[in-house]
A and B are shown apart, each in its own frame.
Chain A
Amino acid sequence: MEQNLTALSYRLRQHVVDIIMAGKGGHIGGDMSVIDALVTLYFDQMNISPENVNDPDRDLFVLSKGHSVEAYYAVLAEKGFFTYEEVLENFSKFGSKFIGHPNNKLPGIEMNSGSLGHGLPVCIGMALAARMDNRPTRVYTVMGDGELAEGSVWEGAMAAGHYRLDNLCAVVDRNRLQISGSTEDVMHHDNLADRWAAFGWHVISVDGNSIPALHGAFEEAKQTKGCPTLIIANTTKGCGSPVMENKAAWHHKVPTAEEYAQIMADLKAREEVALHE
């Protein structure tokens, strides 16, 4: 990794906050937990860029937890698919393409998402197509942990295991909170690794807010043959500022002026620390 991706991740978190302030709404908690996985995928792992969006051999990504779109916009803008200023100016505005969930009218976005439980099965189709055509494509999706209550996720888990799709890697953003509270209270997912392993997946559990740890997990997934890989990215919802961290109320929230100042100061401080590490 040539770039300091940890510092980049904290800088992009600041963009996320500003996007949410500009749009007057957004799923801030999940944006903050998932952004390290997105940064690792787009700046360390995937063969994807604005120059190769039509290359059939490119890697493919679907943000199954589509409500984390603000983090996705920040990452895609940094990658050059559009500009950060465009997002700031248009997010959630009347007539805008920058809506509150990913849509493929925007460059860099393959599939529309927003309704949970769709990303994994769609990625199975992509992975099957890549295998049929003998392409080097790897296919990635990121799901939320609350999302795992959707039955269609398990239809997908079954099929990916059945077809031994080793060109497919799914990530669960395991931040342990959903809109109503703890995932374990709403619909528990403990023994997650065992569940996926039982469906025929190779399972890796890592610190999902550590880019070096995510890098290692994605590399291991690439080396895994004969079955798909699930990365349980153990994350902190709202990661980056104690104002938001591990608080279910920050699932979808716009910071007040005071909260904004504190969050931005916290994120800047962590960016500085990362830059000097």
Chain B
Amino acid sequence: MNKIPNRQAICDVLMEQAANDRNVVVLCSDSRGSASMTAFASTYPEQFVEVGIAEQNLVSISAGLAKCGKKAYAASPACFLSTRSYEQCKVDVAYSNTNVKLIGISGGISYGALGMSHHSAQDIAAMSAIPNMRVYLPSDRHQTRELVKALLQDEKPAYIRVGRNPVEDIYSEDSVPFVMDQATVLQEGSEVLLVACGEMVRPAKAAGEKLAQLGHPTTVLDMYCVKPLDKASIVKYAQGAKLVVTIEEHSPFGGLGSMVAQVVGAECPTRVINLALPDAPVITGTSQEVFDYYGLNAEGIVNTVMKGL
């Protein structure tokens, strides 16, 4: 079992870049530990800014730094970053078009038993609704690495959500099929299309394998790029499929499922079922306990497909 969380992969790439690029700046809001940025802060103290527990300031200061040529990476719990500082993300980052990468750590229900104040089940909807904001939910540490390397090459705003705990690898160190803003096809099949992002890619992959064994050829898309959504891949695999199922660690409103349904409805009408968290505070438990309870696991996905077909 992999022991490196995706947030650690972000820090590793930024440290590699900072070794030769003094414009990489990391900002934290008393979150350097939870963001796995302690090593960056101690290795590159001149390129690290601590703002204290002040997420609005975190984002605005990042925008000011970016305006002056810095590549600002603001890392803070996704729940606070995406809602407490929402207006700063909208105005100072997206509207002013500053090179700020917003790193939402411990996203979704990562904080488990800490409750709804610490869950971010609205961030995809909120961030996607901002013009000029991109939204990424990488699935494992290898893809996270490739994503951050790609983001270092551009100067546009983006929001990246990662979870708190290590997740099992989807890819391997020497095999990460990654094209920026294109979904990764994990499996191809003509009858069913599964579209997942973030930590839900793992159970979607397992479900896809099981469905194929059961005689239902299934395509599985790792849609780490929620915005800009890879519409072409959705249309390519939804066309002719009997059923599309989306899986996300998010509210049922305005997330991956809503966006996929929009595309499928407009381009290739097919039945779409959205598996997501409920529109309610989630039950108390670890991430896996919560996922299992709501059927956000391989078994739940398979059952949904079998009932839906």
Measured CB to CB, the residues of A under 8 A from B are 56, 60, 103-104, 110-115, 117-118, 121-130, 132-133, 137, 151-152, 155-156, 158-159, 162
Contact = CB atoms under 8 A, between A and B. Distances in A.
Contacts of A162: 52
Nearest to A66: B91
Contacts of B60: 118, 121-122, 124-125, 152, 156
Contact of A118 (B52, B66, B69, B91): B91
B57 A129 contact: no
30 contacts: A103-B95, A110-B67, A111-B67, A111-B92, A113-B91, A118-B87, A118-B91, A118-B92, A121-B56, A121-B57, A121-B60, A122-B60, A122-B61, A122-B63, A123-B64, A125-B63, A125-B65, A126-B65, A128-B49, A128-B65, A129-B65, A130-B68, A132-B70, A152-B57, A155-B51, A155-B52, A155-B56, A158-B54, A158-B57, A159-B54
Interface of B is mostly: helix
A111 B96 contact: yes
Given A56-B69, A132-B46, A126 B64 contact: yes
B6 interface: no
Interface in B52-97: 52, 54, 56-57, 60-70, 72, 87-88, 91-92, 95-97
B69 A129 contact: yes
Given A56-B68, A112-B96, A125-B66, A152 B56 contact: yes
- List of 6 A-B pairs having minimum Cβ-Cβ separation, nearest first: A125-B64, A121-B60, A129-B68, A155-B57, A125-B61, A155-B54
A110 B65 CA distance: 12
Interface of B: 22, 25, 46-47, 49, 51-52, 54, 56-57, 60-70, 72, 87-88, 91-92, 95-97
A175 B31 CA distance: 39
Contacts of A112: 91-92, 95-96
Nearest to A109: B96
B61 to A, nearest CB: 4
Contacts of B56: 117, 121, 151-152, 155
Contact of A124 (B22, B25, B61, B69): B61
B61 A115 contact: no
Nearest to B64: A125
Contacts of B70: 125, 129, 132
Contact of B64 (A56, A115, A129, A152): A129
A176 B309 CA distance: 68
A61 to B, nearest CB: 12
A121 B63 CA distance: 9
B223 to A, nearest CB: 31
A121 B96 contact: no
A122 B68 contact: no
A117 B92 CA distance: 11
A218 to B, nearest CB: 20
Nearest to A132: B46
A125 B96 CA distance: 14
B91 A114 contact: yes
A159 B96 contact: no
A134 to B, nearest CB: 11
A156 B92 CA distance: 14
Contacts of B87: 115, 118
A147 to B, nearest CB: 14
A118 to B, nearest CB: 6
Given A115-B91, A118-B91, A159-B54, A125 B46 contact: no
Nearest to A125: B64
Nearest to B22: A132
A127 B61 CA distance: 9
Given A111-B63, A130-B68, 12 more contacts: A56-B68, A103-B95, A111-B96, A118-B60, A121-B57, A121-B88, A125-B66, A128-B64, A151-B56, A155-B57, A156-B60, A159-B54
Nearest to B95: A112
Contacts of A114: 91
Nearest to A124: B61
Nearest to B47: A132
A118 B52 CA distance: 17
Nearest to B98: A111
Contacts of A152: 56-57, 60, 88
Contacts of A56: 68-69
A165 to B, nearest CB: 11
Nearest to A131: B46
A159 B64 contact: no
A112 B88 CA distance: 11
